[in-house]
Amino acid sequence: MFSGLLPARPAVLAALGLLLTRLSCFSLSVQDTPHIAAFFGTKTRYEEVNPHLLRDVLSVNTSVLKPPPTERCSPVHLTAVIRHGSRYPTAKNIRRIQKLSELVRTEASRGSAGSDGWLRDIRGSWESWYTEDMDGQLVMKGRDDLRQLARRLATLFPALLAEENRWRMSFLTSSKHRCVSSVEAFQEGLLQHWGHHEAAPEYSHQVDDELMRFFERCRGYVEGVENNRTALLEVERFKNGEEMEGVRRRMAEKLGLPHHRITPDLVEAAFFLCSYELSIKSVHSPWCFLFDESDAKVLEYKSDLKQYWKRSHGHAISSLSSCPLFHHIFRTLDKAGRPRRSTEAPPEPASILVGHAETLLPLLSLLGLYKDQTPPTASNYQSQQSRHFRTSRIVPYAANLLFVLYDCQRGPRLQLLVNESPMRFPGLEAEDAPLYRDVRATYRHLLDGCDFHGECEGRPGGRGPNIEL
């Protein structure tokens, strides 16, 4: 970040770092945030979930670690499953953005609404700067997301993410460019935390798509859900339903365009434009003024419906496709928690796994998290207002699921954190950090089963929709 410029004196560095952090946050005040920023689904900034980071990106709340106060415990292992940071739009969305901006530039509001400042901005000073070659790559802000996350985790787990453990940690990533860049940024963050300033860490990582992109290798999932239009029927219905219709109509009116010119895809393109300008450039884009909060909630629901039916509880096979990752994590925890003699080598302190929203959602679902009593559908938008399944909260950029293993007097304990907040295991809600053996007992059926070949190859089409009414 600002390596090279500064003398290598830790105290001076710390002070300057703090100052620079404060200064750079100045331009990103809470007031600059669009009113709809918390509803961008998987395109939400991490700061919307943890707004205190807008004031200080390195602030850490150590009381999120909650082993029982009555027992002496110390963390012995951290497994972190992390989503890549902020990224450019994919080529498909860039084409939609171009279509939208062309339409607005050439046809919008020859009549009435021309006096609105934001529309003048869109037609005058705003220029589309997206090109198709940006296709999904990590942006500068995305690198910062991962560097800063690494620095906070190193503060939260000083004994695990310690410099002397540097070569005993493992780093696995999806092969996608944005994930490889993210794992590198995470390692840079650790080096910064330890006071090193080399620009390119001599660290290494392993690419493992079997673990981090399991979803594209699971035939039952690909055939039964991914390439199956019927599996996402609720999304199609909602896209053409009355709530979306209302958003389209209001957007067309604000732009002074005939209703039919604004398709649901173009509505989404404008919404995503607002999100990208914020997450990539930290600016409050004029496109944001096309939507009020109730419009944004409708669009958030549309994207939640898609994730629910494509990546989560909607179809059992979606979560079961993450069985390889689930087993990998519990094997790592088993090893780290095993009793050992003092002469034996200490366990692996940390396992850092970098992937996608599509990696995290199935795994969270397999663990039984964020499962509402009634599934979200095209027809129950109103009654879903207080649902737990909110992708804006669960999988923003740099989303993370942390498994913290403690060594405690009564044996190993495990705590879960999602986006740096404590999250209890379903079925073990009495404690933040239950005994590891109780967690294993809760997931016995998955530990003994959840076989990738059985689930993914044995029964094409999976186990069908998983609707509990």
Ligand X SMILES: *[C@@H]1O[C@H](CO)[C@@H](O)[C@H](O)[C@H]1NC(C)=O
**Which residues are catalytically annotated?**
84
- Interface stretch with ligand X, choices 7-15, 196-204, 223-231, 295-303 (CB under 6 A): 223-231
Contact by Cβ (8 Å): 333, 405: yes
Taking CB under 6 A as the criterion, the residue among 67, 85, 201, 224 binding ligand X is 224
Enumerate the H helices of 27-80 as residue ranges. 46-49
Beta-bridge partners for 411: 408
Site mask for ligand X (CB under 6 A), range 103-142, x = bound: ----------------------------------------
CA distances from 366 to 320, 326, 327, 385, 397 (A): 7, 8, 11, 23, 21
Enumerate the H helices of 256-401 as residue ranges. 264-281, 293-311, 316-320, 323-337, 357-366, 391-394
Shortest reach from residue 89's CB to ligand X, in Å = 29
In Å, how far from its chain's centre is CA 296? 19
- The residue (of 4 and 69) whose beta carbon lies closer to ligand X is 69
Tell me: does residue 461 bind ligand X (CB under 6 A).
yes
Cβ atoms < 10 Å from Cβ of 61? 12
Tokens of 2: 């600002």
Tell me: does residue 431 bind ligand X (CB under 6 A).
no
Q: Under 8 Å CB-to-CB from 294, ≥6 apart: which residues? A: none
Tokens of 341: 């003699």
The residue number with the shortest CB distance to ligand X is 461
Nearest to 413 by CA among 20, 74, 144: 74
Cβ atoms < 10 Å from Cβ of 279? 27
Number of residues this chain uses to bind ligand X (CB under 6 A):
13
CA-to-CA distance for 263 and 260, rounded, in angstroms? 7
- Interface stretch with ligand X, choices 211-219, 368-376, 389-397, 459-467 (CB under 6 A): 459-467
Tell me: does residue 50 bind ligand X (CB under 6 A).
no
- The residue (of 64 and 134) whose beta carbon lies closer to ligand X is 64
Shortest reach from residue 63's CB to ligand X, in Å = 4
Shortest reach from residue 447's CB to ligand X, in Å = 27
Shortest reach from residue 17's CB to ligand X, in Å = 21
Site mask for ligand X (CB under 6 A), range 331-360, x = bound: ------------------------------
Tell me: does residue 231 bind ligand X (CB under 6 A).
yes
Shortest reach from residue 369's CB to ligand X, in Å = 16
Taking CB under 6 A as the criterion, the residue among 90, 228, 282, 380 binding ligand X is 228
Contact by Cβ (8 Å): 393, 303: no
Taking CB under 6 A as the criterion, the residue among 6, 8, 61, 449 binding ligand X is 61
- The residue (of 54 and 64) whose beta carbon lies closer to ligand X is 64
Taking CB under 6 A as the criterion, the residue among 54, 64, 103, 423 binding ligand X is 64
Specify the pairing of strand 170-173 against strand 350-355: parallel
- The residue (of 350 and 418) whose beta carbon lies closer to ligand X is 418
- The residue (of 174 and 365) whose beta carbon lies closer to ligand X is 365
E strand residue ranges, 292-445: 350-355, 400-408, 411-418, 421-423
- The residue (of 313 and 328) whose beta carbon lies closer to ligand X is 313
* DSSP codes of every residue in 265-279: HHHHHHHHHHHHHHH
Taking CB under 6 A as the criterion, the residue among 4, 27, 31, 63 binding ligand X is 63
Count Cα atoms within 13 angstroms, Cβ side, for 258: 2
Footprint of ligand X on this chain (CB under 6 A)?
Answer: 61, 63-64, 223-224, 228, 230-231, 421-422, 461, 464-465
